[in-house]
């Protein structure tokens, strides 16, 4: 089964993370396709640009998507995916995800390239 990851294409952290996930997935033999949340495809499915979405055996949002993606991570990180589902720890991860999501563009910058203002003659 091919997984489909939707991520914020304007965020440097999100872009770098999806590149890492694709690399991990390739090494593990799990096919992962990626698409930005700003795409027409994501909009048609009702996904917003605020949290990542992973479609695998079911839909995973936000921190649950990260926990599922840990299945393709290298052995030395994979344990996070197992421990992260434990009640209490999962709630802490959710809080951490929401904090990072709120400030990610401020902390890591954006990939958006605004056009320079027009100069009047």
Instruction: Give me the sign of the Cα torsion angle 7, 12, 13, 17.
Output: positive
Each residue's pLDDT tens digit in the chain (121 positions)? 999 999 988 888 988 999 999 999 999 999 999 999 988 999 999 887 678 999 999 999 999 999 999 999 999 999 999 999 999 999 999 999 999 989 998 999 887 654 445 455 5
- Contacts (Cβ under 8 Å, ≥6 apart) of 92: none
Q: Which sequence spans correspond to the domains of the chain?
A: 3-108
């Amino acid at each position: 089964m091919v997984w489909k990851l939707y991520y914020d294409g304007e965020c440097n952290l999100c872009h770098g993370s999806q590149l890492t996930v694709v690399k991990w997935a390739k090494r593990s033999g799990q096919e992962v396709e990626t698409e930005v949340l700003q795409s027409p495809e994501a909009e048609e499915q009702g996904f917003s640009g605020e949290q990542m979405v992973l479609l695998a055996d079911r839909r995973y949002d936000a921190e649950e998507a990260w926990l599922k993606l840990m299945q393709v991570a290298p052995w030395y990180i994979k344990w996070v995916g197992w421990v992260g589902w434990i009640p209490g720890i999962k709630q802490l991860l959710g809080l951490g995800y929401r904090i990072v999501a709120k400030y990610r563009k401020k902390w890591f910058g954006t990939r958006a390239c605004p056009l320079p203002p027009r100069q009047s003659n």
